[in-house]
């Protein structure tokens, strides 16, 4: 797991308790057999975080609560066309979110079992 932190700059350093109340925790879980690139941009500040999520890995990000624009791209390494999806989301400060990245067809499941054909899932 890779731990990332992305937050807007502030004038003074808040205490750990105050900071936890200002941030939302987002866990991105790649359960597919391809890499993903995730770009999350704050609507309020324009600050942008970019994460490349390898196969079968997860990333934990802490973001300031608020509205975001997300660009999610499945990276295919030239085997096919990269697939990009754009959407908006709102993260509430002090809350935790889990976001699973899946594909319709996978060659091998993350847990080693034969994969089932499932629709893309976003929590």
Sheet containing 58-64: order of strands:
2-6, 58-64, 23-30, 96-101
| pLDDT of amino acid 60 | 94
CATH superfamily, with its number, for domain 2-101: Immunoglobulins (2.60.40.10)
Stretch 22-36: mean pLDDT:
92
CB 8 within 8 A of CB 64: yes
| pLDDT of amino acid 87 | 96
Q: Which residues contact 42 (CB under 8 A, 6 or more apart)?
A: 8, 48, 63, 64, 66, 67, 68
Q: Hey, what are 103's tokens?
A: 């594909």
> pLDDT category, 77, cuts 50, 70, 90?
confident
> pLDDT category, 34, cuts 50, 70, 90?
confident
Domain ranges of the chain: 2-101
> pLDDT category, 17, cuts 50, 70, 90?
low
Stretch 68-78: mean pLDDT:
88
């Amino acid at each position: 797991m890779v731990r990332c932190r992305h937050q807007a700059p502030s004038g003074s350093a808040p205490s750990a308790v105050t900071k936890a109340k200002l941030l939302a925790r987002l866990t991105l879980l790649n359960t597919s057999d391809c890499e993903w690139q995730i770009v999350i941009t704050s609507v309020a500040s324009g600050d942008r975080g970019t994460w490349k999520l390898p196969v079968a890995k997860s990333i934990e990000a802490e973001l300031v609560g608020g509205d975001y624009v997300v660009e999610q791209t499945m990276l295919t390494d030239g085997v096919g066309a990269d697939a990009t999806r754009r959407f908006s989301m709102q993260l509430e400060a002090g809350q935790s979110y889990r976001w699973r990245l899946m594909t319709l067809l996978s060659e091998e499941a993350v847990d080693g079992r034969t994969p089932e054909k499932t629709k893309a899932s976003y929590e």
